[in-house]
Chain A
Amino acid sequence: MTTPGYGGLRAKAPNPQLNAQGKLQHLLDMEGLSHSQINEILDATASFIDINDQAVKKVGDLKGKTVANLFFEASTRTRTTFELAAKRLSADVLNINVGTSSTTKGESLLDMIKNLEAMQCDMFIVRHGDSGAAHFLAQHAAPHVSVVNAGDGQHAHPTQALLDMFTIRKHKEDFGKLTVAIVGDILHSRVARSDIHALNSLRTGEIRVVAPRSLMPPDVETLGVKPFYAMDQGIRGADVIIMLRLQKERMQGAFLPSEREYFRLYGLTQSRLQLARKDAIVMHPGPANRGVEIESQVADGPQSVILEQVTIGIAVRMAVLSTVMKNRQARS
């Protein structure tokens, strides 16, 4: 006899990334985004890919807008693609590597964004080591400011998920008929969580997660996935294999004995890849640890779409920034 709403004793908070019209005003998380909301961004991505192939790679969607890249965690690739995306949309871009600046002087996260708002920034692109950081900023940001999550702790990395979905959509026909295997450190992976939500929204046939129990989050089935603890069974018959990066510090935390044993059990090798479907594609959010989670022959092989993901990454981020800003302007 569960009393309704008992867990929170309160009404469930509305999805903070949607405005009153149900349009995306922030991008914080894949959870709660519908099939059509995702497809809308993926369709916009396709048009931006064409622009990126032109000689003049610039459009005016964000002309006169100021975008602040707030990176509290080191990242070259994601920061660069966001910066390029914003610049190709004609925004003014402010890069702030917070790891090396203000919060070490005791400035709170809240003070910092209030100061940036006072400088008339229109959008914050945030990467932070704590899960929930992007939600926190969205809750406290001024009403005219949009927040785009570039990765928060172990929670979400929605633009990575969108580019993964675009890549899959490009190579495969119908999500409903696909088997997708996500392999590696599921426990600590924000990419895995966002991919899982997106794949579920797109009604993917079967979503598998493959990891040793020490890298599998508790009650993982509740995310709508099927857990596998052995690699061979996990990738057998898969159409898509998404390999995750293994952080070196996992050995210290007693999650794993060694990289060597990990590679032996969960590394994607050419011979293992034979277990998947013949036309299976291999994905990786990068940067890949060759010889730890993936063999070079596979990473550079014909089934790998890893570099393609990077190219799509810019267009996806252009689509996200443009969509969020458009919804803002439509409202005001």
Chain B
Amino acid sequence: MSGTMNGKTLAILHGRLLDAETDRTADIYIENGCIAAVGASPRGFRADETIDAKGMIVCPGLIDLCARLREPGYEYKATIRGETRAAALSGITTLCIPPDTNPVIDEPAVVDLIQKRAQADDAAAVAVLGALTTRLEGAQLSEMATLKAAGCCGVSNALRPVTNNRVWYRALEYAATHELTLHVVPLDPALSANGVAHAGAVATRLGLPGIPVSAETVAIAQILALIEETGARVHFGRISSAAGAALIASAKERQLPVSADVALHQLLLNDTAIDGFDSQAHVIPPLRAERDRKALVAAVKSGAIDAICSDHQPHNLDAKQNPFPTTEAGISGLDTLLGLAWELAQREQIPQQRLIGALTDAPGRILKLQSGRIAQGLRADLCILSTDQAWTVEAQTLRSGGKNTPFTGMRLNARAVYTVIAGKLLHCNAD
């Protein structure tokens, strides 16, 4: 984890503290990069800086379970420095990155390189997922224990296929041995091959190759069967369908060691967003039908889906400038994560505490981090946001290197005003 301890002391006064467990007005005192006290000032505390957070919400810094930073390998899209800084200025204090960089993260040297580039006290920390298989080829297991020792917080094969179930089985056993959580994006490779949209009415009308819901459910069911025997801890990322969410919910009822997240755009958009061949809404897994979107919202409310992530995929301009099927999938989501999530909660009546929990506490637990809540002794990663200064999403003003968003023109109410990273105060809108 990056972010050096900050020597300055900080007091955040009169804010509304909102995390998965509390919702009350109180002061926060920060010292040595940690929360020294909540409520009454510690004896002899002298604040070097004081923030009057009256009328604002103070929540834990957002923890994003899936963001591509594109470095190493795709620096023409984005860089570690640019994206971690953009994240920090949007209230995100930790980014978890999948291993599909180039070279892939299957060697400690790559982990070191990323951690070194991410070492800055004014940017989001980076949590690294190591490759599950060497070169992500789905055949040979990576040196997971070595990767863990180098700082990886879990392993994943990202969106690359593992077609051999024997490899899956062994990978689960081996990851469980080393207490590594396996992060899986459930998508059956054969059922999703060549697909660019949800197999439904919109894809049928546009003549786009579809990805059926079964591409997700088959993959989930298969891994669940292996979890039953191996006891491995698995995090299912980017759930996209009602049926997928139902499988996760029933696995949790059976007490299987599983968790799940959903990309924020899946909660806001359905497959009609690709109408007119809008490549900005081209994502994998695809945007699905309205009934899927509603079921995903319900699963977030009930907790069946633990966390909401940005699934941030910054792209260069050319990546989206082609006929729809040949454009690259993904949305640049760091800048809009907080604002859109707040908008979602308003529109769908998701309790604010649950929403913040899905963006902080839940992903923190999945990554086993010592943050994600506001409590004495925890690392001082915080987001101070206003909810009454509306702003408009404009592609060109996104701080991320990727300007690819389908949300251009949307008015959003929530916005980070300050971010605190390990006790260091950042002014988000100083420019």
Q: Select which of B269, B270, B323, B347 is within 8 A of A131 by beta carbon.
A: B323
| Surface stretch bound by B, among A79-87, A162-170, A215-223 | A215-223
A1-34 near B? 1/0 per residue, CB < 8 Å: 0110011111011001000000000000001000
B263-281 near A? 1/0 per residue, CB < 8 Å: 0000011111101111001
Instruction: Kindly report which residue of chain A lies nearest to residue B407, judged by CB atoms.
Output: A9
Taking CB atoms, residues of chain A closer than 8 Å to B109 are none
Q: Does A110 contact B (CB under 8 A)?
A: yes
Q: Does A190 contact B (CB under 8 A)?
A: yes
Taking CB atoms, residues of chain B closer than 8 Å to A133 are 323
Known A6-B270, A9-B407: A109·B199 in contact at CB below 8 Å: no
- On whether the beta carbons of A13 and B276 are closer than 8 Å, the reply is yes
Shortest CB-to-CB span from A18 to chain B, Å, is 13
Shortest CB-to-CB span from A184 to chain B, Å, is 15
- On whether the beta carbons of B204 and A130 are closer than 8 Å, the reply is no
Shortest CB-to-CB span from B192 to chain A, Å, is 14
* A: contact size bracket: 35 or more
Q: Which of A174-213 contact B (CB under 8 A)?
A: 190, 193
Taking CB atoms, residues of chain A closer than 8 Å to B203 are 217-218
Q: Does B225 contact A (CB under 8 A)?
A: no
Contact surface of B with A, Cβ cutoff 8 Å: 199-201, 203-210, 212, 268-273, 275-278, 281, 290, 318, 321-326, 347, 406-410
Shortest CB-to-CB span from A110 to chain B, Å, is 6
Known A7-B269, A130-B323, A218-B200: A136·B277 in contact at CB below 8 Å: yes
Docked Cα-Cα span, A218 to B408, in Å, equals: 30
Q: Does A128 contact B (CB under 8 A)?
A: yes
Taking CB atoms, residues of chain B closer than 8 Å to A130 are 322-326
Shortest CB-to-CB span from B242 to chain A, Å, is 15
- On whether the beta carbons of B277 and A131 are closer than 8 Å, the reply is yes
Taking CB atoms, residues of chain B closer than 8 Å to A237 are none
Q: Select which of A12, A132, A154 is within 8 A of B277 by beta carbon.
A: A132
Instruction: Kindly report which residue of chain B lies nearest to residue A31, judged by CB atoms.
Output: B205
Contact surface of A with B, Cβ cutoff 8 Å: 2-3, 6-10, 12-13, 16, 31, 108-110, 128, 130-133, 135-136, 140, 152-156, 190, 193, 217-220, 222-223
- Taking chain B's interface residues, is the majority helix, strand, or loop, or is none over half, making it mixed? loop
Docked Cα-Cα span, A150 to B421, in Å, equals: 56
Instruction: Kindly report which residue of chain B lies nearest to residue A135, judged by CB atoms.
Output: B277
Known A8-B275, A130-B323, A155-B206: A218·B212 in contact at CB below 8 Å: yes
Taking CB atoms, residues of chain A closer than 8 Å to B409 are 10
Q: Select which of A8, A131, A140, A219 is within 8 A of B325 by beta carbon.
A: A131
- On whether the beta carbons of B321 and A218 are closer than 8 Å, the reply is no
Of listed B207, B278, B406, residue having the most chain A CB within 10 A: B207
Shortest CB-to-CB span from A95 to chain B, Å, is 21
- On whether the beta carbons of A7 and B323 are closer than 8 Å, the reply is no
Q: Select which of B208, B269, B324, B326 is within 8 A of A9 by beta carbon.
A: B269
Docked Cα-Cα span, A128 to B277, in Å, equals: 15
- On whether the beta carbons of A108 and B207 are closer than 8 Å, the reply is no
- On whether the beta carbons of B271 and A3 are closer than 8 Å, the reply is no
Instruction: Kindly report which residue of chain A lies nearest to residue B265, judged by CB atoms.
Output: A9
Taking CB atoms, residues of chain B closer than 8 Å to A110 are 321-322
Docked Cα-Cα span, A135 to B275, in Å, equals: 11
- On whether the beta carbons of B207 and A154 are closer than 8 Å, the reply is yes
Taking CB atoms, residues of chain A closer than 8 Å to B206 are 131-132, 155
Known A133-B323, A219-B201: A7·B271 in contact at CB below 8 Å: yes
Docked Cα-Cα span, A229 to B2, in Å, equals: 61
Taking CB atoms, residues of chain A closer than 8 Å to B406 are 8-10
Docked Cα-Cα span, A13 to B277, in Å, equals: 11
Shortest CB-to-CB span from A55 to chain B, Å, is 42
Known A109-B323, A130-B324, A223-B205: A12·B275 in contact at CB below 8 Å: yes
User: Can you report 24 A-B residue pairs in the complex whose CB atoms are below 8 A from each other?
Assistant: A2-B290, A7-B271, A8-B275, A8-B281, A9-B407, A13-B276, A13-B278, A16-B276, A31-B205, A108-B322, A110-B322, A130-B322, A130-B323, A130-B325, A131-B277, A131-B324, A132-B277, A152-B323, A153-B208, A155-B207, A217-B203, A217-B210, A218-B199, A219-B201
Of listed B203, B204, B276, B408, residue having the most chain A CB within 10 A: B204
Q: Select which of B199, B200, B269, B347 is within 8 A of A8 by beta carbon.
A: B269
Taking CB atoms, residues of chain A closer than 8 Å to B205 are 31, 193, 222-223
Docked Cα-Cα span, A219 to B210, in Å, equals: 12
- On whether the beta carbons of A153 and B200 are closer than 8 Å, the reply is no
Taking CB atoms, residues of chain B closer than 8 Å to A7 are 269-273, 275, 290
Shortest CB-to-CB span from B190 to chain A, Å, is 10
Instruction: Kindly report which residue of chain B lies nearest to residue A137, judged by CB atoms.
Output: B323
- On whether the beta carbons of B272 and A136 are closer than 8 Å, the reply is no
- On whether the beta carbons of B204 and A218 are closer than 8 Å, the reply is yes
Instruction: Kindly report which residue of chain A lies nearest to residue B321, judged by CB atoms.
Output: A110
Instruction: Kindly report which residue of chain A lies nearest to residue B408, judged by CB atoms.
Output: A10
Shortest CB-to-CB span from B56 to chain A, Å, is 26
Instruction: Kindly report which residue of chain B lies nearest to residue A13, judged by CB atoms.
Output: B276
Shortest CB-to-CB span from B293 to chain A, Å, is 8
- On whether the beta carbons of B268 and A9 are closer than 8 Å, the reply is yes
Docked Cα-Cα span, A199 to B233, in Å, equals: 54
Shortest CB-to-CB span from B184 to chain A, Å, is 25
Taking CB atoms, residues of chain A closer than 8 Å to B281 are 8
- On whether the beta carbons of A8 and B208 are closer than 8 Å, the reply is no
A-B interface, 8 closest residue pairs, ranked by CB to CB distance from nearest: A7-B272, A155-B207, A154-B207, A132-B277, A130-B323, A133-B323, A222-B201, A132-B324
Q: Select which of B201, B208, B407 is within 8 A of A154 by beta carbon.
A: B208
Docked Cα-Cα span, A12 to B410, in Å, equals: 14
Docked Cα-Cα span, A110 to B323, in Å, equals: 10
Shortest CB-to-CB span from A9 to chain B, Å, is 6
Docked Cα-Cα span, A177 to B90, in Å, equals: 61
- On whether the beta carbons of B321 and A8 are closer than 8 Å, the reply is no
Docked Cα-Cα span, A237 to B367, in Å, equals: 64
Shortest CB-to-CB span from B131 to chain A, Å, is 30
